[in-house]
Structure 1
Amino acid sequence: MSRVAKAHPPLPPSEAARLAEALIFCAPAPLSEADLAARLPAGTDVPAVLGEIARAYAPRGITLARVAGGYAFRTAPDLAPALRGGVPEARKLSRAALETLAIVAYHQPVTRAEIEEIRGVTTSKGSLDLLLETGWVRLRGRRRTPGRPVTYGTTPAFLDHFGLDAVSDLPGLDELKGLGLIEGRLPAGFRVPQPSDDAGADEDPLGPGDAAAD
C-alpha cells in the first residue's frame, strides 16, 4: 500500500514574513510575487506577507518598495537628502546621453534613426554604447523595414534605478511640468508619449547571436 506524502502546513504569518524578508534582502534583483511564492511554503498568502513586511518597515529608514515588477528594500525617500553627502557621486551622463535615454524610455521600441529624428541631431555611437554599458538600455529587436534596423528599449535595471515598477509609471506631461522639467508655452498639440515596453507591431525579436547594433 503506497504512502501518501503529508503536506506541510503553511508557516505562521510572522514566520512566513521573516522568510520572505530574508529572501528579498538577499536577492540581487527585485523579487516578484511569483518568485516569492516559489520559495515560500505552499499555501502562503504572499500579498498578505508583503503587506505585513511593508507595514513593519514603513516607519523605519529602509522601506519595502515595488520596483521593476518586483519587491526590494530601498532607503526611505525622505532620508535621501541626508545620505547624498556620504555616497560616492555616480558617473554623470552627458546631455546627449540623457536626451537619448529619455527618447528611448518614452518612444520604445525606437531605432537610432528615429532617435536622431526626434533630437534633430546626429546621435553619436558613444551615447548609445554608454547607455548599453550602464545596463539601462538594451537591444530589443529589428524593425520590419529595409535594412532591418535595431530597436532599443529600457531594461529592468533602468526601472530599478529610477524606482519605477513599469515604464508606464514614467511621469506624464502634467507631472513633468510640476517637476519644472517643462517650462514656457508649449506648441499646440504637444504631448508626451505614453511609454510602453510591449513588442512593436512592426518589430521582430532579436534572434540567437544577433547582438550587433547598427
Structure 2
Amino acid sequence: MNDETGEKSAGGVGTLFEAPPLAEQERMVEAILFAAQKPQTLREIAARMPHGSDPGAAVEQLRRRYDGRGVRLVKIGDAVAFRTAPDLGFLMSREVEETRKLSRAAIETLAIIAYHQPVTRAEIEEIRGVSVSRGTIDLLLELDWIRLGRRRQTPGRPVTFTVTPAFLDHFGLESAKDLPGIKELREAGLLDNRPMPGSLGARGDGDGDETDAGDEGDEEQDDMFD
C-alpha cells in the first residue's frame, strides 16, 4: 500500500487519505463493535476508521444486515452495540446468575430516578414519603445504574441523579422515553397492586424512618448527597 499516492491495497481497503468502500467500512464497524467492551458512539467509531469514512451509514447498513438474526445491532442512548435478540434471551439463562436482589426501597428509588430524572435526594424522599438510606444510593451507584447529574441552582446546590447507559443497556432500552407505563409493569408481573411511590396513599404513616436492612442511621451521615 502506498500512503503517499493514496493507492488501494490488494484487499480493497483505502489508505488513511482515502475512505474505503462502504461495504469495507461496514466490516470495520462490525469488527470494532465485536471487540468493544462497551457500547460505542459514532464519534468513538469514527476515531478508529480511515479519514473520510461514514460510520453512520456503515452502522445503519450493518443494522439492516443483522435485522432478524440471533444477534442484533441496537441503539443504547447515543451509542450502539451487538446484543442477543430479545426473543432468544431464554437461551442465555444458564449463563446469568442472580448475585444480588434489590430491596423494595432500592427498586422504588431506581424507578423514581428513571421516571423523574434529574431528581435530587430530597425529591426522591418527598415522592417516596420516607427517607432514602445511604446504602440504597451507594448500591445503585455501584451497579452503575445511576450517576450524579448537575447540581440544582437552589440553596445548598444539591446534586441530582439520572440513570446511566448501563441501566438502559441492562433493561434493553434505547432511551428513558422507552420506559414502560404502570399498566405494562403490572401486566408483566413486575409491579404489584400497591400504589406507586408518590401516588395517593403511597405515603408512609408519618414516621419517615424506612431504611434498608443494615443501613440504620446512615441518613444523617450521608452528607455527600444532601
- Shorter-chain-normalised TM-score: which range? 0.7 to 0.9
Structure 1 CA distance, aligned partners of 2:157 and 2:130? 22
Residue pair 1:139, 1:213 contacting (<8 A) in 2 also: no
- Superposed, 1:178-193 pairs within 5 Å as 179=188
Which residue matches 1:119? Answer: 128
Given that residues 113 and 162 in structure 2 are in contact (C-alpha distance below 8 angstroms), is that contact kept between their aligned partners in structure 1? yes
Task: Quote how far apart the aligned CAs of 1:49 are.
Answer: 1.4
- Corresponding residue for residue 89 of structure 2: 80
The C-alpha deviation readout for 1:108-135, integer Å capped at 9, x for no partner, is: 1212121111111222111111111111
SS of aligned partner of 1:88:
coil
| Residue of structure 2 aligned with 1:61, choices 70, 74, 86 | 70
CA RMSD of aligned residues (A): 2.9
1:177 Cα offset (Å): 6.0
Q: In structure 2, the residue corresponding to 1:138 is in which secondary structure?
A: strand
CA drift of 1:85 comes to 2.8
CA 1:177–1:96: 2 relative to 1, 3 Å: closer
2: distance between equivalents of 1:143 and 1:55? 42
Q: Give the paired residue count.
A: 189
CA separation in 1, counterparts of 2:74 and 2:89? 15
Aligned partner of 2:217 in structure 1 is: none
2 CA distance for matches of 1:140 and 1:45? 32
Shift of 1:164: 2.1
CA-CA distance at 1:26 after TM superposition: 1.7
Cross-structure match for 2:43: 34
Q: Any stretches of 5+ residues in structure 2 without a counterpart? A: 7-15, 200-222
Change over 3 Å in CA distance of 1:122–1:172 after alignment to 2: same
Compute the TM-score of the two structures, normalised by the length of structure 1: 0.75
Q: Hey, what's the Cα distance between the residues in 1 that align with 2:190 and 2:97?
A: 25
SS of 1:141's partner is coil
Task: Pick closer, same or farther for the CA change 1:97–1:10 going to 2, 3 Å.
Answer: same
In the alignment, structure 1 residue 131 sits paired with structure 2 residue 135: no
Q: Distance in 2 between matches of 1:63 and 1:14?
A: 18
